[in-house]
Each structure stands twice: as structure tokens, then as C-alpha cells.
């Protein structure tokens, strides 16, 4: 475990030496306010991201999240690509864990492998699109090595206006079914059914000129409405959660993304 962490940090330091020759990107900062009264710092979260293009194939980045680590980075990562291979390694400074994800495109089939240090939580995923009966079908199975289970997602286009997604495991347990129905070019309605729990939820999305409005409805819990507005210097997002059961409070949050 210690050797893997040390190897990752050594790789990061070696790449960092080249920063003087790298293309420096402008940082992005996100501020989230979960209570407009700001009674405590727990109601305020600040996160930031900073990346450096070492060359055309390698990017090194740092993430900061105030609620995770006030005085330092929360995550350090390296992204690399070569031909049809993409690799990303992350070092979580809080848990001191290294995670790696690699993707390879093989003749139209995307094959992905992800794992944590000491080869924990290993997952192998394949994803491929094909044409069946003049409709597009996307198949994406994921094999979980530790418990030897398979999770499957099947996405099927049903005409020009409807896309269905079915998710289940190898024993057909925990299946979910959702159908994204395009009302017109700006509006989409998506019902989702959790088969085992017989639970039906709904999502509605309305595209605006410079953003969008999204409404998610769980009849047994709450209504969540968010409004996103895009600008040249960053995005605004306002979210309201309204409880649909007696006694549930109404919650508001505001997010501002700054692009420097």
C-alpha cells in the first residue's frame, strides 16, 4: 500500500517538474450556499480545480474542497492518453487512497478497468453500440471482481423521440427501467421505475437559451427544481427542494461557478 502511494506521488512530482514548460490553464472555482442565512460555515462550501497541460497527452490537476480539507488539496490526479487508451489516476489526500481508471477502444467497443490500491474494488466494463432493426442498442455490462457479480445496462432507442434504459444484475435483481421521452427539441420527460420497490419517479428538463430548468419528482418524498444559467464568466445554479409529505422542510441552495 505504501509503495503504491509512493509510486503515485513520485509520478506526480516527476510530471510537476515539467510545469515550467507546460500550458497553464485558468482555475475554476465553485461556491455552494445551502442556507441563505449563512448561520455557520457548514452552510458554505467552496471547491476549486486547477489543471496544467504537461503536453498534448498528459494533464495534471488538483481539486480543492473546503468541507473535506480546509488547508490543502482534497485530490491530486494525472490524466494520460495515447492513441485509443485513456488512463486517470487519483490520490485522495483525506483517505490516502489511490484509484486508477483505464479505458481502451477496441474496434468500437469501449473496455474499461477501474481499481483502488492493492487491487481492491476491481471492476471491468465493456460498452458497445450496435444497430438492431434500424434502431440503436447500447449494451454495457460491468463485472465486479470481488463479489463476482455482473451489472448490466441496456439502452435502446425506440423511434426518434424515446430512449429506454434498463438496468439489472445477472440474477435480474434490482432492475430499473426509465424512458427519456422527447416532447420537442427543448423539452424531455423521463419516468423511472424501480421494479423491486414498485417506486415510480419522474424527471422533466426544459432547455433555455442560456441554460436549463430541471424538475425531479419523487411522489413519496420531495420535488427538486433546479435552474442553471450559463454565462461567459461562469454558471449560476439555484436549487429548491420541496417536501411532499407533511413536516418536511423546504431547502434552497445556490451554486456559482467562476471561470477565470
Where are the domains positioned within the chain?
Answer: 1-106
Residue reference for cell 424527471: 203
Higher pLDDT, 4 or 190: 190
Residue reference for cell 485558468: 26
pLDDT at 24: 59
Q: Which residues contact 191 (CB under 8 A, 6 or more apart)?
A: 178, 179, 181, 200, 201, 202, 203
Query: Do 242 and 253 contact (CB within 8 A), yes or no?
Result: no
pLDDT digits (tens, 9 = 90+) for 116-153: 987 888 999 999 999 877 889 999 999 999 888 999 99
pLDDT at 26: 72
Average pLDDT over residues 181-197: 95
Higher pLDDT, 177 or 35: 177
CA distances from 236 to 35, 250, 257 (A): 16, 20, 7
- Average pLDDT of every residue of the chain: 86
pLDDT at 244: 85
C-alpha cell at 246: 407533511
Q: Which residues contact 259 (CB under 8 A, 6 or more apart)?
A: 26, 28, 233, 234
Average pLDDT over residues 217-242: 89
* Full-model pTM: 0.75
Query: Do 239 and 250 contact (CB within 8 A), yes or no?
Result: no
Cβ burial 172-203 (10 Å sphere, 16+ → b, else e): eeeebbbbbebeeeeebebebbeeeeeeebeb
Amino acid at each position: 500500500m505504501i509503495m503504491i502511494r509512493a509510486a503515485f506521488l513520485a509520478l506526480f512530482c516527476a510530471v510537476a517538474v515539467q510545469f515550467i514548460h507546460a500550458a497553464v490553464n485558468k482555475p475554476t472555482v465553485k461556491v455552494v450556499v445551502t442556507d441563505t442565512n449563512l448561520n455557520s460555515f457548514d452552510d458554505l462550501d467552496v471547491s476549486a480545480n486547477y489543471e496544467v497541460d504537461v503536453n498534448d497527452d498528459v494533464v495534471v490537476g488538483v481539486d480543492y474542497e473546503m468541507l473535506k480539507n480546509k488547508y490543502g488539496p482534497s485530490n491530486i490526479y494525472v490524466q494520460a492518453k495515447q492513441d485509443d487508451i485513456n488512463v486517470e489516476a487519483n490520490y485522495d489526500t483525506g483517505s490516502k487512497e489511490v484509484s486508477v481508471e483505464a479505458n481502451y477502444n477496441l474496434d468500437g467497443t469501449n473496455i474499461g478497468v477501474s481499481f483502488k490500491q492493492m487491487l481492491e474494488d476491481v471492476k471491468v466494463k465493456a460498452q458497445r453500440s450496435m444497430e438492431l432493426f434500424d434502431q440503436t442498442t447500447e449494451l454495457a455490462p460491468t463485472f465486479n471482481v470481488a463479489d463476482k457479480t455482473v451489472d448490466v445496462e441496456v439502452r435502446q432507442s425506440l423511434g426518434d423521440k424515446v430512449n429506454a434504459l434498463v438496468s439489472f444484475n445477472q440474477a435480474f435483481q434490482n432492475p430499473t427501467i426509465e424512458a427519456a421521452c422527447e416532447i420537442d427539441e427543448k423539452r424531455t420527460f423521463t419516468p423511472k421505475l424501480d421494479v423491486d420497490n414498485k417506486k415510480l419517479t419522474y424527471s422533466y428538463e426544459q432547455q433555455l437559451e442560456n441554460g436549463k430548468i430541471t424538475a425531479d419528482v419523487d411522489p413519496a418524498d420531495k420535488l427538486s427544481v433546479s435552474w442553471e444559467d450559463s454565462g461567459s464568466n461562469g454558471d449560476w445554479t439555484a436549487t429548491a427542494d420541496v417536501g411532499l409529505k407533511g413536516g418536511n422542510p423546504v431547502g434552497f441552495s445556490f451554486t456559482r461557478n467562476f471561470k477565470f
